[in-house]
Structure 1
Amino acid sequence: MTNKMPPRNKSTLTTAALLLSAFTSLASAAYQWPSQPYDDLEDFIYSGQRPDGSSMSSLVASCKLRGTTNTTVAAEWTRFVYHDTSTHNITDGTGGLDGSLFFELDRVENVGAGMTNTRSDFSSFPSKYISRSDITVIGTIFAVAACGGPAMQVRGGRIDTNVAGPYGVPNASDTSESIVATFAHQGFNISEMIQLVACGHTLGGVRYPDFPDVVAAPSDTSETVVDLFDDTQQFDHNIVTNYLDGTTRDPLIVLNQTMASDLKVFSQDPTNATLQAMSSADTFSSTCVSIFDKMFNTVPNGVNLTDYIELQPVKVGNVQLTLGDSNLEFQAAVRVSTVSDNTNISMYWCDKYGSSADCAGGLKRYASPVSSTTVGSTVASAMGVTLEKYQFVVPIDADQGINKFWFDINYGNGTTAVADNNGAYYPVAQDEVLWVPSMSIAKSATSTNGSWFIVAAVKSSSASDISGLHIDCIGRATADYIAVNATYDLALNNTMPSKLGYDFYSVATTANFGVTMQFDIVAEASNGTQWIDGDRQAGLISITLPAASGVNTTTSKSVGGSGESAAWSWRHTSAGWLVGVILVVVAAL
């Protein structure tokens, strides 16, 4: 990790316009943290990684090739999403993007190493709020962006099935009439069928040994040969222009005519009007965004998708209050769409208890970040946006606690802003029950049951009022792709001495939750009150945090920001601020 900011993107006008759009969108949407599943979806889409830092976006970045073959990871991921969609039945509303493809790879219609490669790529990334089918869609937008295509916004909330769906992918040997009927069954008319095939086949090609009737066997039949659809590996309109000018190399057009499925599809429009409308780079891109959006939203009846997930210019995450050696310890990260090489950020907070509770008398505590790192998915890169993630780790006196926090952003050029959750500030909901990752134990890499040892701290003063203490666990990144849910009661651990006014409770899980586990710790009082330390990531147990930073105090007339400075709040975004941002970008590039 580094404290040095990355160079600015070369496209001044594009970046400025994107920032203007992002800030305006934030104001209109009135986003407030926390907001699940939006929070996890947004961070994964634009940061490209799990909370533990494992990156899915990096698997496809720079339009990388798959091993020693001449096809790309992006092509395999893009094929995968259509094959999952293909089970949809427009008549009765069943099937579609529901993750059933994970259970269908033994079918001839889903033949190929690319399919099994993709399933393996995606398998460790589903989580509590991001389903397998959401991962499949997000993987596709990572793939398109990685190969020079447009940055696409998508929705979340798809619901996975745990069984195979009906057959649905057309075979290359099918008749034209059969192919048209199959796409119609899925909900795509002839023009949409042509668009979908063109947009899907701008990447990749046909592989031997998967399709020996199309691609001739090499002299060494143990080798893999991929005959590409067009003359580039990029997401571009060459698949269209090569067809229209008669120079196409598409093996599903020019080789075995019985297997010429792309020719059968494109020939359904004898005037080529659909392809002519896609024959420029801009129209190809916009058409693909539209038809992919329809495909992404092809889900079973009764599935309610989220709104489109937009990039938040300031995004809080990794928030946790826990016990340290001699104090409580609070950590938080804030991800910022940076616009200056000289950006500095401070985190401010109010006490929860004592004479300065809720910043009484104007007393605020603040600290600097302990580290920063540049993050970003291929989608963020395609948008021309640089994201910097600042991590804060601060000691908290148990007698003072922490009630709420916010961030003061100084861009180093006279422009400042306050990120305060649209005026609501970022709340620290409770400190009665806390997860203690430093005392918990990660499952062994060789464990057969996926056991995690989880330790929770409960305030000693509240212990007598608590009638129940349990954890609700979920693991979605499992070997058989089926989510595992389980609940465990925690028991007082007498081997762990009380400290800082907290007693310790523990439990060892027994279910196999897969790569990682997410859980909520729930304490129930006899009067019906609940305290929840929620959305915890067991995968963070093994991650060592940087040393806590020093804490400073200040007083001011107002709660937010840095004293008397004229710091704009994100909730007070104005035309002047937006113009200032754009000018900063222009000056910095």
Structure 2
Amino acid sequence: MLNLLLSTLALTRAAAAAGYQWPSPQYDALEDFLYEGGRPDGSSLGALVSPCRLRGATNTTVAAEWVRLVYHDAATHQIADGSGGLDGSIFFETDRTENNGAGMNNTLNDFSVYPSKYVSRADVIVLGTVMAVATCGGPAIPIQGGRIDANVAGPYGVPNITDSLDSLKGTFAHQGFNVSEMIQLVACGHTLGGVRYPDFPNVVPGSGSQTVVQLFDDTQRFDHSIISQYLDGSTRDPLIVANASAASDLLVFSADNNVTMQSMNSEQAFSSTCSTIFQKMFRTVPSTVNLTDNIDLVPVKVTGVQLTIGSPELQFQANVRLQLSSNHTTVTMYWCDRYGSGANCASKLKRFTAPSTSAPVSSPFSATMNLTLQKYQFVVPLAANQSISKFWFEIDYGNGTTTVANNNGAFYNIDQDAVLFVPSQSRPKAVLSGSNGVFIAAAVKSTNTPSRVYVDWIGRATKNFIAVNGTTDLKLNSSIPSVAGYNFYTAEITEEYGASMQFDVISVQQNGTSLADTYKWDTLIGLNTPAETQVNSTTSSAAGGASGAVAVATAGPWTWSVAAAALAVLSAAL
């Protein structure tokens, strides 16, 4: 029965996977960030906030500062004309009184190195917020991606702590929130952190120390203490008790005679309400922006694919991340040759190997969801006269159940091997003597005579927060000996592109068509690659299946609604 349940769940995942197929560059980048916590090079935004850590020597949390910033970015929204909202304009607005405080600049500094080709500054703000909420005991809030960054400041929009109730209502209404939603946003936003001296010296007395923070409630958790302590009269919230002329929380919380506050006065109600209202805030974007679907977990996730020059010929690298239900899971990668008698698995000829390494991955978000994620890295040598056309995985869960992950039957395809990025011949800018550039090497088949080989690059994590992009031509480099029928083309990119650069290596053929090796990161150059593993061959079954395997594609997003559907299928089968 257990095997039937697992197979049924896998089948239902496949049925729900219609909206996702690898590669899906934007979705893949957002999903990696949300469930693994940061960039592909291991730089972790989640580690800056987890486990609900304090900010330096203060008594407030990093999470509180991150949650404050997301509303201040969204507050520029004008529902009447659809302008403003969560667009990253906050990066250009910290000189305003409404955005004062060390916490704002701390947060911008935390977030500044994480924007990339497919993850905007505004998306980083939302990703950081859900990690902050999760690591401090709050819910795992569903999010979408696809926000577009503004490159200038937006309109003023954050309410002032000395505003009247009518003014507060009007401000939130302009942003698209009614009175009850205003109360929810403020209560959910103020469950973490407090008011810092000297940001608001008329509210919090101090002696000049930046570490003096008067907290909104008695806990450092994302919980309903802000509600319960307000209702029972024990609140310490400085925007209620400290200064009658700056009692904005009191005005907001009591705006509907405490009806909304009473409705949130339990952990379950608070968590659910905050999740709902934060999701609405996250969707507060300019009307010209179309957000993605919810970023659901891809239970079998392929990343880090690189066909390149190895020793002595080609090398293929790929990662697969699994959602584990057993500590006894084993994974095997299979692939088909591109050339020769076994091309495209002719005569059922397949190659296979075990992973080189494996390691757990996590983020505050995935940890809150109690997900166990394991990433397996594969590194194998290939003969140039065989190469690789497509690959897939067989997963043995160690309980009698085996599944085949083959991208919903489409396989994980390697589109071309005529132009390849070569990390081993490239050099990161940090190790280039006397240069601020990065040295890029590409391999092009010597049977090709391209009219142009170039790098199309973008950097979004810049000092002035404005993305830069460009193209750089690569030139034939005869000082690097040819390998396995490939010549090397190189160039140094010296433009200032910020903390990271993503790039495509493109070869333009004589007939005008282009071939590309896409979505590479400069910060991955120079990282150690695990040892290659042994390549084996078999003709035991057709491509995409294995002897005795349940041929189930499991590469689609997984949600609790999918689980419910799976159980319904199981019930009908029994």
User: Is TM more than 0.5 here?
Assistant: yes
SS at match of 2:350: strand
Tell me the equivalent position of 1:286: 272
Q: Displacement, 1:569?
A: 4.0
Instruction: Output the CA distance in 1 between the equivalents of 2:13 and 2:105.
Output: 39
% identity of equivalent residues: 58
In the superposition, relative to structure 1, how do residues 407 and 21 fare at CA in structure 2: closer, same or farther (>3 Å)? Answer: closer
Q: 2:39 aligns with which of 46, 50, 74?
A: 50
Q: Displacement, 1:445?
A: 6.8
Instruction: Output the CA distance in 2 between the equivalents of 1:499 and 1:59.
Output: 43
In the superposition, relative to structure 1, how do residues 410 and 25 fare at CA in structure 2: closer, same or farther (>3 Å)? Answer: closer
Tell me the equivalent position of 1:65: 54
SS at match of 1:423: coil
> Is the 1:450–1:514 Cα contact (8 Å) retained in structure 2?
no
Within-5 A mapping of 1:488-499: 488-499=472-483
Unaligned runs of 5+ in 1: 1-16, 583-589
In the superposition, relative to structure 1, how do residues 247 and 447 fare at CA in structure 2: closer, same or farther (>3 Å)? Answer: farther
1:392 aligns with 2:378: yes
In the superposition, relative to structure 1, how do residues 19 and 485 fare at CA in structure 2: closer, same or farther (>3 Å)? Answer: farther
Q: 2:153 aligns with which of 160, 164, 171?
A: 164
Q: Displacement, 1:29?
A: 3.1
Q: Normalising by the residue count of structure 1, what TM-score does the alignment of the two structures yield?
A: 0.91
Q: 2:17 aligns with which of 29, 37, 58?
A: 29
Tell me the equivalent position of 1:522: 506
SS at match of 1:184: helix
In the superposition, relative to structure 1, how do residues 450 and 135 fare at CA in structure 2: closer, same or farther (>3 Å)? Answer: farther
Deviations 1:62-121 (A, max 9, x none): 111111111011100000000000111111111111101011111111111111110010
SS at match of 1:276: helix
Instruction: Output the CA distance in 1 between the equivalents of 2:317 and 2:432.
Output: 30
SS at match of 1:531: strand
> Is the 1:183–1:193 Cα contact (8 Å) retained in structure 2?
yes
Within-5 A mapping of 1:235-246: 235-246=222-233
> Is the 1:97–1:158 Cα contact (8 Å) retained in structure 2?
yes
In the superposition, relative to structure 1, how do residues 25 and 568 fare at CA in structure 2: closer, same or farther (>3 Å)? Answer: closer
Q: Normalising by the residue count of structure 2, what TM-score does the alignment of the two structures yield?
A: 0.94
Q: 2:241 aligns with which of 225, 230, 254?
A: 254
How many residues of Structure 1 are paired with residues of Structure 2 in the alignment? 559
Larger deviation, residues 129-138 vs 100-109: 100-109
Instruction: Output the CA distance in 2 between the equivalents of 1:510 and 1:319.
Output: 26
Instruction: Output the CA distance in 2 between the equivalents of 1:446 and 1:431.
Output: 29
> Is the 1:23–1:313 Cα contact (8 Å) retained in structure 2?
no
Within-5 A mapping of 1:191-270: 191-218=180-207, 221-270=208-257
> Is the 2:144–2:295 Cα contact (8 Å) retained in structure 1?
yes
Larger deviation, residues 92-101 vs 17-26: 17-26
Q: Displacement, 1:217?
A: 0.9
Instruction: Output the CA distance in 1 between the equivalents of 2:111 and 2:251.
Output: 32
In the superposition, relative to structure 1, how do residues 167 and 575 fare at CA in structure 2: closer, same or farther (>3 Å)? Answer: closer
Within-5 A mapping of 1:111-510: 111-218=100-207, 221-270=208-257, 272-444=258-430, 450-462=436-448, 464=449, 466-510=450-494
Larger deviation, residues 184-193 vs 397-406: 184-193
SS at match of 1:570: coil
Amino acid at match of 1:176: L
In the superposition, relative to structure 1, how do residues 200 and 18 fare at CA in structure 2: closer, same or farther (>3 Å)? Answer: farther
Amino acid at match of 2:318: A
Deviations 1:528-560 (A, max 9, x none): 322110001111112010111111111123212
Structure 1 runs, 4 residues or longer, greater than 6 Å off? 17-23, 445-449, 571-579
Q: Displacement, 1:39?
A: 0.6
> Is the 1:208–1:225 Cα contact (8 Å) retained in structure 2?
yes
In the superposition, relative to structure 1, how do residues 20 and 187 fare at CA in structure 2: closer, same or farther (>3 Å)? Answer: farther
Instruction: Output the CA distance in 2 between the equivalents of 1:450 and 1:519.
Output: 17
> Is the 2:76–2:85 Cα contact (8 Å) retained in structure 1?
yes
Q: Displacement, 1:526?
A: 2.2
Tell me the equivalent position of 1:105: 94
Q: Displacement, 1:568?
A: 4.0
Q: 1:546 aligns with which of 505, 523, 530?
A: 530
> Is the 2:138–2:271 Cα contact (8 Å) retained in structure 1?
yes
Q: Displacement, 1:378?
A: 0.7
Q: Displacement, 1:325?
A: 2.1
Q: Displacement, 1:564?
A: 3.9
Instruction: Output the CA distance in 2 between the equivalents of 1:94 and 1:202.
Output: 29
Instruction: Output the CA distance in 1 between the equivalents of 2:537 and 2:217.
Output: 62
Q: Displacement, 1:576?
A: 14
Larger deviation, residues 94-103 vs 18-27: 18-27
SS at match of 2:87: coil
Deviations 1:221-246 (A, max 9, x none): 33521111111111111111111121
SS at match of 1:558: coil
Tell me the equivalent position of 1:80: 69
Amino acid at match of 1:208: Y
SS at match of 1:59: helix
Instruction: Output the CA distance in 2 between the equivalents of 1:81 and 1:575.
Output: 32
Amino acid at match of 1:27: A
SS at match of 1:461: coil
Amino acid at match of 2:378: F
Instruction: Output the CA distance in 1 between the equivalents of 2:13 and 2:191.
Output: 32
